Structure 1
Amino acid sequence: MTMRRAMAVSAVSAALLGTLAGCGIEPTDVVEVGLPATGVKRPGARVEDAVLYFASQPGGVPLPLHRPAGGEVTAEEAVQLLLKGPNDAERMRGLYTELPRDVRAVEIGTGQGKVKIRLSTDLVRLTPLARMQVVCTAVHNAVPGDLPAEDVKVDLSGTSGKPMPDQTCQVKDTFTPPMSTPTP
């Protein structure tokens, strides 16, 4: 080994050893600041908020929004809230729905790990984002069976056309914290 190479290896080793030795910051105890973290609920946990999925940009993924409810919210109740659209505070934050104003839920029913929703429109009239808003809202609220949201299936149908059975929430962004609506 040449002298130059030996010095280079020695310098790299010293730098690595210095890095591994620490940066000189002393350890501290846990300091609690702010509210506890919120996010995806445990499977089977009671839902105390209505979890609604609204859009924030055209063609994007729907974002979860937690509205305080003071008790368990069923999939049926949550879908009805979604169809009413965002409230004023949510609209001011740039949230909107891709569901047409005239769309209503004709029928909503739940069973073990299953939600059936019949809407007052042909499903081809809805954008993929609008359909995903309905599906994600349904599965992230109380559905019998205590299954994780990703295992709950939604059968969507409309006034005409082909029904869409076994839809699942395809929103994969679990790192985005859900937005909360302030209590008036």
Structure 2
Amino acid sequence: MIEGGEPAYLDSREETTQLVFFISPHGRLTTAPRKANRGPSWLPALPGDAVAQLLAGPSTAERERGLRTALPAGQSIRSASSSPGFVHLTVSFAVGRLHRTAVDQVVCTAAYAEGNLRSTKVQVSGTDEALPTRQCQAGDLPYLP
């Protein structure tokens, strides 16, 4: 008989770190960590939750480091769905005239949260149209703790 201590359990209050994609002072995409209460730390953040964090914009500390966003302020996610390798997001604003960098911010944030930055396909729909499905095209990304 093997005796042990207390029974093992999962603490559902652990924080999960997710990355959101902002624009660096040099105009390139860069990542910033955000905490997401998603249950045990081994569970990934959901793409909709990650993009909601992105739409909240850079925090004061992130702005002090020069991070910014190309996305319109005060917007939100209307719906999000995902399956392995694919994410569909519907946002509360027009997407047809967004700068490519703004779309990259959303696509890369959602793809990273889905679990595969380079191969996840993301479609973003807005109040005006659905953009063609895209994959994250970011190069080597610096991580800003």
TM more than 0.5: yes
Q: 3-state SS of the aligned residue for 2:128?
A: coil
Which structure has more strand as a fraction of its residues? 2
- Equivalent residue, structure 2, for 1:87: 59
State the 4+ residue runs in structure 1 displaced beyond 2 angstroms.
67-72
TM-score with structure 1 setting the length? 0.62
TM-score with structure 2 setting the length? 0.77
- Equivalent residue, structure 2, for 1:6: none
The letter for the 2-side match of 1:53 is F
Match of 1:53 among 11, 14, 21: 21
- Equivalent residue, structure 2, for 1:24: none
The CA RMSD over aligned residues, in Å, is: 2.0
- In the alignment, structure 1 segments of 5+ residues that lack a partner are 1-46
Superposition pairs of residues 27-38 of structure 1, within 5 angstroms: none
- Equivalent residue, structure 1, for 2:109: 137
Q: Name the stretch that deviates more: 70-79 or 90-99.
A: 70-79
Which structure has more helix as a fraction of its residues? 1
User: Shift of residue 67 of structure 1?
Assistant: 2.3
> C-alpha separation between the residues in 2 aligned to 1:91 and 1:109?
30
Structure number with bigger Rg: 1
User: Shift of residue 49 of structure 1?
Assistant: 1.1
Match of 1:164 among 120, 131, 137: 131
- Equivalent residue, structure 2, for 1:101: 73
The letter for the 2-side match of 1:165 is P
Q: 3-state SS of the aligned residue for 1:85?
A: coil
